[in-house]
Amino acid sequence: MSETITVVFDGQVFRPDSPPNLEPNTRYTITVESVEPVVKDNAWDVLEAMAGTVEAPSDWSSQHDHYLYGTPKHNTENNE
């Protein structure tokens, strides 16, 4: 039987991250492999990765209702 268990070593004892499926008071042989810590991106990095650009007409921001929903264009000073 082989089972992979992630543990933390506190200097004296291996403490599993979740309960292992092992019999208590039984001798086991273990292989120790160092695991690199997972670095999580902060919220700004996640949003930046998700952000993109959209090819759109120059009046896109002022006339977005027209382009998204088909409503008539609003009169603006810079209306093209």
Number of domains in the chain: 1
Tens digit of pLDDT for each residue in 8-37?
999 999 999 999 988 999 999 999 888 888
Domain that holds residue 45: 1-74
Cα(4)–Cα(26) distance, rounded to whole angstroms? 17
50 within a domain of the structure (yes/no):
yes
80 within a domain of the structure (yes/no):
no
Name beta bridge partners: 16.
Answer: 7
- Measured between its terminal Cα atoms, the distance across the chain in Å is 73
Tens digit of pLDDT for each residue in 38-74?
778 888 888 888 887 778 899 988 999 999 999 999 8
